Structure 1
């Protein structure tokens, strides 16, 4: 497995992977979790996909997207402030240029991979490492996200604990929570699997890997 980050300039190059990603999102968020999301031609997308996000993809050796996450600078429109402001104690992120928002994180649990320590799906750890790695290389030091209580526990077990930005709120069939996570070398070291690979340049990553 490897991590592939797809930036706006690469949408056309990796169109097939992005289509796989949207189908996976449909299967997870509409099919398994039964969220009220928009599905067209078997693919899930929303208004935040129109804002030129970067996507972190976990891709198997056979080219299948096993997991994904969407990243947007927090100084622009964000899901937390525009869709789920009730999750923020202050109603605002007080965003800065070093903050990035993660959303639409999901993993294809039908694929069989080794579970680290018997607790965490390997794809989840690859995605955590990819998010931290790419964010550090691009100058971010804090990640914010809306998630649920189950995923909050997964983050803690992975060694990347979340600081809550408000109290849990029942939204649909989910108890949601907003949180902040550090983007730093220590967090990357905690979550990175031994066989981790990404498509980022070795030159850009040399300082990070030496620190980790």
Structure 2
């Protein structure tokens, strides 16, 4: 399994992977979690896909997309401030250039591959490592996100605890929470699974050692 990062200027290079991503989002958010999201025959899309995000994708050895997340700098429009400001204690993230927002995180846990440490799925740990690695590479030291209490527990089990930015709130059929996560080498080393591969580490980034 490897991490693929797809910034806006590379969308045209990865149409198949992005199409798989949108279909996976539909399966997870509408099908499994029963969220009220917009789904078409092409998959799940929302307004934040129009703001030129970078997508982080976990790719299985079969070339199947098994995990994804969407990253947007917090200087621009974000889901937390526009859609879920009630999750923020102050109602705002404030101006902070080293922050990036992660949203639409999901993994295909039906994949028949080994699970990682603490029984977390390999795709989950690979995605965590990919998000941290990309954030550090691009000058961000903090990741903010809106998630739920179940996923907050998964982050704790992975050794990447989230700092809450407000109180939990009932939104739709879930109890949602906003939080921030560190993007630093220590967090990367804790979550990175054995055999982790990405375009960044494969290009011999000196500050982050590759997994054996």
Q: TM-score, normalised by structure 2?
A: 0.96
Deviation, 1:209, is 2.3
Which residues in structure 2 correspond to 1:48-127 (within 5 Å)? 48-127=48-127
In structure 1, the partner of 2:139 is 139
* Conservation of the 8 A alpha-carbon contact between 2:19 and 2:42: no
Q: How many residues align?
A: 210
**Alpha-carbon separation, structure 2, partners of 1:203 and 1:62:** 22
* Conservation of the 8 A alpha-carbon contact between 1:137 and 1:204: no
CA-based RMSD: 1.2
* Conservation of the 8 A alpha-carbon contact between 2:102 and 2:143: yes
- Could you list the per-position Cα deviations for residues 49-74 of structure 1 after superposition, in whole angstroms to 9, with x for gaps in the alignment? 00000000000111100010000001
Secondary structure (helix, strand or coil) at the match of 1:197 reads coil
Secondary structure (helix, strand or coil) at the match of 2:161 reads coil
* Conservation of the 8 A alpha-carbon contact between 2:118 and 2:157: no
- Could you list the per-position Cα deviations for residues 105-150 of structure 1 after superposition, in whole angstroms to 9, with x for gaps in the alignment? 0001121221123520010000000000011000000000000000
**Alpha-carbon separation, structure 2, partners of 1:94 and 1:34:** 31
In structure 2, the partner of 1:179 is 179
Deviation, 1:201, is 5.7
